[in-house]
Amino acid sequence: MATHESGTPAPFPETDLQFSQLLPAASAGVRELLQEIEAKPTRLQSNEVQTKFRITGNIEDIVEKPGVEFIARSYQHDLYLLTPGEQGEQVRCRRQGDKITLGYKGVRIEDAGVRVRPKYEIEIDEKTEQELMKKYGFGAKEVNKIRDLYQFGSVVICADWVVVRRGEEVIPAGQFIELRTTNTDNGEALIRDAAQVLGLDYEERINASYFDIQLGKKDYTFFPESMTEISPLELYEIMATSFTLPRNEAYFSSPLTSGGAKRLFEGMDDLAEQIPAIIRLNSQVAEIIAHESEDLVVAYRVTLPHLVGHRQGWGEMDYLKFWIYYLSGIPVNEAKRFEQMIETGQPGIDINVFNDHNASRTERAMQYEKLVDGFVSFVKEQGVSLNPVNTVLCLPDYRLSLGCSSEVRLANALGIPLQEVIIDKDHPGFRKRIAPIAKWLQEEAENSPSNFPNSLNYVVMFKNPN
């Protein structure tokens, strides 16, 4: 297949304009973000016309057609910033090699047979990228692609392998062919013809962006790591801006400081010193189980409690307050009122006992219940409207965790559906991946049935037993 002489594509006409000229096209929320960027010449990529197709076979066989020229391969790391664009707009920060670009995708033309929208880009430096991430990146959605670029007449063909990054691991999440052009007069006809040449069924086209497509992997809630000196209420106020209405979100209630791995350290003189190790083991097990049961969870976003990380100055009560707010989706102004109520001494919580891991479980459980029951009473007495998660999934050993027990108590009181993850202890995946680091689960796995009548019990069938 021939390589394009220039080595780089030239599919879009480019026009210089100042960023200030772009602002009127954006909604108020997006304008606020764009005004953070120093005014400089911006590349206008006109109105781009595009659509894409999900590919299940060999993607390279599809693009091996007469007249299709290979241009280049690249790796693209995209972060879609969480911005209050009201009209389907998107702001994307892209790293490709040493180049960083900030892109703005404008309002879509909804009545088109393919996706049509204006697109603008500006090159930024690493410092500007870091400032954007610090202010707007807490809810960013990450999309990574290995992209092979081809040219077919005036149509650009992108063969994309979309991947999800989990630490150092890169996991395939789907392969697609995207067709696009800037010819708005007969763009759809050109794309339809290109699809026919490639042997693609035009009726199976997808007009959503990669940001919008559920790629078969869940979107895990991201919490701002740099904001360690922040109160539970302040962190909740930030996170609440990412809530959809209603929330398509499942919460995995998993032991952190009690229950689970704590069994390994029972009887030690100073149990408090072992808390970091307990959290680490419990978090590791929770993450494995959550990933293995992704296909069973009917929700787009997944939240794991350990991902909130260590927050400076937070005690057990601070963490539970945050999760009470988060799970219930209480309006921020009402959460502030509840905080004020706690400061006045209601509902009679002993904070010292609450946070003391060396205190008896019975004493601490009473304090946990006071906090949950006080919140529920406040919500009901004040008639507060909530926007809760749509499911609370209880991981094994939740019964031994004060935090999990409190979340179950809250869910029951607010009518949030409860479901339980049931482990298949005989599966090779459990024996090889979980049992060696979580011996306590071997005993817990014997415990079925569920405590929750009329709820669906998930049996985790591990996909990678070897």
Task: Please write the tens of the pLDDT for every residue from 56-71.
Answer: 778 888 999 999 999 9
Structural domain containing residue 372: 219-460
pTM for the whole structure: 0.55
List Cα–Cα distances, 214 to 173, 299, 300, 340, 404, in angstroms: 9, 10, 7, 40, 29
Q: Is 197 part of a structural domain of the chain?
A: yes
Q: Is 4 part of a structural domain of the chain?
A: no
Helix (H) or strand (E) holding 190: helix 187-198
pLDDT at residue number 167: 47
Q: Are 187 and 224 found together in one domain?
A: no
pLDDT at residue number 2: 36
Contact 365, 402 (CB under 8 A): yes
| Whole-angstrom distance, CA of residue 217 vs CA of residue 171 | 10
pLDDT at residue number 7: 39
Q: Which residues pair with 179 in a beta bridge?
A: 51, 157
Q: Is 362 part of a structural domain of the chain?
A: yes
Chosen domain end from 138, 172, 204? 204
Chosen domain end from 204, 234, 261? 204
Q: Are 117 and 160 found together in one domain?
A: yes
Q: Are 289 and 342 found together in one domain?
A: yes
Q: Are 381 and 332 found together in one domain?
A: yes
Q: Is 343 part of a structural domain of the chain?
A: yes
3-state SS class at 406? helix
Phi then psi for 422, rounded to 5 degrees? Answer: -105, 125
Helix (H) or strand (E) holding 371: helix 361-382
Assigned token pair, 238: 């930030």
Q: Are 140 and 184 found together in one domain?
A: yes
Q: Is 36 part of a structural domain of the chain?
A: yes
3-state SS class at 119? strand
Q: Are 196 and 269 found together in one domain?
A: no
Contact 87, 22 (CB under 8 A): no
* Number of helical H runs and strand E runs in the chain: 14, 15
Helix (H) or strand (E) holding 132: helix 126-136
Chosen domain end from 158, 175, 204? 204
pLDDT at residue number 227: 60
Q: Is 10 part of a structural domain of the chain?
A: no
As for how many domains the chain has, the answer is: 2
Give the single-character DSSP code of 287: H
| Whole-angstrom distance, CA of residue 216 vs CA of residue 213 | 9
Assigned token pair, 27: 């909604």
Q: Are 299 and 427 found together in one domain?
A: yes
3-state SS class at 156? strand
| Whole-angstrom distance, CA of residue 149 vs CA of residue 264 | 53
The closest of 437, 436, 239 to 325, measured between CA atoms, is: 239
Query: How far from chain centre, in Å, is Cα 381?
Result: 33
Give the 3-state DSSP-derived string for 69-83, with helices as H, strands as E and coil as C: EEEEEEEEEEEECCC
Q: Give every strand in the sheet of 418-423, ordered side by side.
A: 219-220, 301-303, 249-253, 391-394, 418-423, 457-460
pLDDT at residue number 10: 37
Q: Are 268 and 402 found together in one domain?
A: yes
Q: Which residues pair with 417 in a beta bridge?
A: none
Q: Is 1 part of a structural domain of the chain?
A: no
Give the single-character DSSP code of 168: T
Q: Are 124 and 254 found together in one domain?
A: no
Residues of the chain with confidence (pLDDT) below 50 = 1-17, 19-20, 84-86, 166-169, 215-216, 445-466
Q: Are 191 and 245 found together in one domain?
A: no
Which domain CATH number covers 81?
A: 2.40.320.10
Q: Are 285 and 152 found together in one domain?
A: no
Q: Are 224 and 193 found together in one domain?
A: no
Q: Is 280 part of a structural domain of the chain?
A: yes
Phi then psi for 247, rounded to 5 degrees? Answer: -85, 125
Which amino acid type is present at position 400? Answer: L
| Whole-angstrom distance, CA of residue 264 vs CA of residue 260 | 8
The DSSP result for 77-108, as a single string, is EEEE-----TTS-EEEEEEETTEEEEEEE---
The closest of 124, 20, 139, 14 to 84, measured between CA atoms, is: 139
